[in-house]
Structures are given as structure tokens and as C-alpha cells.
Amino acid sequence: MRPDWTRRNLLRDASAALAAPAILRAQGQDLRVAFIGTGNRGSFVLKNAVQVPGFRVVAVCDLLPERADAASTIVAKAGGKADTYTDFRKMLEERKDIDAVVAATPDYTHAEVYTFVLEAGKHLYGEKPLALNVADAKRIVAAAKRSKGKFQAGFQLRHDPARNAAEKFIHSGGIGKVLMCHGIRHGGDLPRNIPWYFDREKCGDIVVDQGIHILDLFTWAIGTHPLRALATGGTTLFVNEPPGRTVMDNYSLILEYPNGIQVNFSHHYFDPPGFTGIQERVFGSNGAIDLPKATWQPRDSRKPVELEVPNKGKDATYMALAAFLDSIRNDRPTMSDAETALIATITPIMATKAIYEKRPVTWNEIAG
């Protein structure tokens, strides 16, 4: 069945930034959570999870026993106790008390891990992207629809207080008609201690693994998926560095949306420290807004307006996990459900194909 690409699936209320599980034994009980993948990203998410009231981490799993042990120590320092595993299937088969799973495994494992967890009937917070190809991503969507549990994709920038407030302002009509989005993500190269980051067969390349976050914010602001991608990119500075590298270190991208709306996005890894960094701006008929700063510049004024930002300064990952918990307890849709995450995943896959094949690529030829 063709997914529903309507605004209903994209314009999740930006004010619903805190959501979570429905299979709790009783309303108000702690959510018993297991972690799968406790490496670089997983350990960071775990450090936030143990701070969320109502989150009780009871098990941690990683292929490397030393990483599982380190994760268990994080839980212990926060006053909890987590059993360690190296096989996530065994963990879920043995621990029938687990309500929810947070999965932060490498991108190429998402299809296998996510479908297993969802088919086991658990709530799942799964890091982006859904998968590295559309067929696997749709398989996860189908599993999420069948599952008894909630699914939330790890698009934590949607829950960043400033960006969330800015998106809410856009959706309320504050900037008028959305006309164009412009973004840059310029910084240093990926961390060299994570080999799969540099293998495009395992990470989908840098648009899918990294650029996806900002592209998702822009698609959320616009309210529908792009129609066509035009892009160019490659490896200019870090050629074969580290040895065997197959991912790019730069690209420039234009996404065309209905009604002439465009996204213009530049992403590279050779930015001098502090030179440019990250910018995410949405331009409308009434003015423009800076998402990370939550500042609004009306067209008829030279003075920017700072938006009111609830939970200002709180960590985006913490807020995303709190949202996951709230949606389960109150049986509300998650802000980044499986269908929304599918759109967010197809978009960079489309852009990557345009780069590799040096031609415009349409949504219909990718999404089916």
C-alpha cells in the first residue's frame, strides 16, 4: 500500500515535544527500558535517558561486552541496575518485563533490529535513518503499523526547544507562506574511531547519515515531501582518509518542493573551527526565521524578534526521550512516527542518488 504523504503525517504539532509508552502495567509506573547499541551515540542517549523521570533502564546490550559493561556502569551511577547482554534477541526473549527499547546501532543494522523489536511488541525509540534503502524502510513502517508498541525515530532536533518553538511559529502561519529554506552544515570530519561512518555501504553516505537531520526539519517546515533533487558532491580534501574511505566530504543540494518551494543545503567537512558552522533558516512571505536561534525577522522591520522558547536550554536528546515516554503514557502519536521517518529517510536517499548519478532524481522514482 502506498504511504500517506499528506500534511497530516508531516505537521505533527510542534508543541507536542514530550511524548511516550502504552504497554505500562499501570498508569504512572516507570517505563522499563532496554538499550541496544551502547557505543558513541548509544552511550550519549543513555546518559540522557537515566536523567528522565519515569525512565528505568533495566538491560543494556552491545556486541562488545566492554561497551555493555560501561553502559551498565552509567546506569549504576544514576542509581539503577541494568543487566548486560551481547545478543539483543536473547535479551528480549529472556526479559519479558521490558516495556520499551532504545536502539542506537549502526545504520546498516536498523532494518534487522527495528523489525525484530517491533514484532516483539515493544515500544521503540530507534535512531535515524529508518534504513539504507526504501524497501527496508517500508518494511519497518509495516512492522510499526502491526506492532502493539509506539515507534519514535531519533530525530532529536525536532525536540530541541528553540527549533521546536520556531517550527510551531511556522506552522501557526507566523512567517506566512513558506517560500524557501537555506541551510549549511559545515564542520570538521567525522570521528575516525568509528570505521563504519566511512563506508557508504554501512552508513548510506553523509547525506543519509548526517544531513538527514536538517533536511527533516526543512521538510517538516514545508509540510510535504520534495518532488525532485539536484545535487553535486564528492571527496575533495579527505581523499582515501582514512584508508578505504568511500563516503564524501562535501555536497551541495537543491530540493524542489510543490508550489516552487526550494531547499538549498550545503554540507562539508573542511570548515575551519568556528568559521561558519550550522545555519537553518526558513524564508516566508512575511519574513524569515532562524531555527536554532528561534529568532524571527519580519519583512517590514530590521529588528529581529526572539520567540518564547519553553524548556529553553534543555538538551534535545533528553527532550526527545521525555517525549517518547509521554506519548506512551498518554497514548499520543510520536512526533517522528514511522511514516514521517520514512519521508525523512527517502529524501536523502533521493539526494544521494542524484549526486552519484549526476542527474536530477525524482521522488516518484525512489518512493514508488
- Residues 21-80 pLDDT 10s: 334 444 568 999 999 999 999 999 999 999 999 999 999 999 999 999 999 999 999 999
May I ask the CATH architecture of the domain 7-158+317-336? Answer: 3-Layer(aba) Sandwich (3.40)
- d(C-alpha 80, C-alpha 224), whole Å: 42
Question: For position 28, what pLDDT does the model report?
Answer: 63
4-18, 22-36, 98-112: the lowest-pLDDT one: 4-18
Q: 3-class DSSP state for residue 230?
A: strand
Q: What are phi and psi of 69, to 5 degrees?
A: -65, -40
Question: For position 21, what pLDDT does the model report?
Answer: 34
Question: For position 368, what pLDDT does the model report?
Answer: 84
pLDDT at 17 over 90: no
Predicted structure pTM score: 0.92
pLDDT in tens, 127-161: 999 999 999 999 999 999 999 999 999 999 999 99
- d(C-alpha 189, C-alpha 150), whole Å: 35
Write the CA distances from 200 to 63, 106, 112, 291, 356, integer angstroms: 21, 12, 18, 29, 12
Would you say 110 and 133 are in contact if contact means Cβ atoms under 8 Å apart?
Answer: no
Identify the bridge partners of residue 60 per DSSP, sorted by sequence position.
35, 84
CATH class of 161-312+346-367: alpha beta
pLDDT in tens, 252-295: 999 999 999 999 999 999 999 989 999 999 999 999 999 999 99
CA proximity to 93, closest of 111, 114, 112, 120: 120
Listing DSSP states for 266-322 in one string gives EEES-PPTTSS-EEEEEEETTEEEETTTTEEEETT-SS-EEPP-TTTT--HHHHHHH
Would you say 61 and 88 are in contact if contact means Cβ atoms under 8 Å apart?
Answer: yes
Domain ranges of the chain: 7-158+317-336, 161-312+346-367
Q: Is the dihedral of CA 357, 359, 360, 364 positive or negative?
A: negative
Angle at which helix 65-77 crosses helix 40-49, to 10 degrees, equals 20
Percent of the chain predicted with pLDDT > 70: 92
- d(C-alpha 261, C-alpha 217), whole Å: 14
Q: 3-class DSSP state for residue 164?
A: helix
Q: Which one-letter DSSP state was computed for residue 207?
A: I
CA proximity to 196, closest of 208, 205, 186: 205
How many residues comprise the chain? 368
pLDDT in tens, 310-327: 999 999 999 999 999 999
CA proximity to 183, closest of 132, 112, 254: 254
Question: Where is pLDDT greater, at 14 or 183?
Answer: 183
- d(C-alpha 155, C-alpha 213), whole Å: 6
pLDDT at 14 over 50: no
Q: What are phi and psi of 215, to 5 degrees?
A: -60, -35
Would you say 263 and 218 are in contact if contact means Cβ atoms under 8 Å apart?
Answer: yes
- d(C-alpha 336, C-alpha 344), whole Å: 9
Write the CA distances from 268 to 30, 90, 192, 246, 361, integer angstroms: 42, 41, 16, 15, 21
Name, in order, each residue with C-beta under 8 angstroms of 93's C-beta and a sequence gap of 6 or more.
none
Q: Give the pLDDT band of residue 10 (cuts 50, 70, 90).
A: very low
Q: Is the dihedral of CA 133, 318, 163, 222 positive or negative?
A: positive
Segment 330-358 shows an average pLDDT of 97
Q: In the numeric block, which cell numbers belong to residue 21? A: 509508552
Question: For position 8, what pLDDT does the model report?
Answer: 42
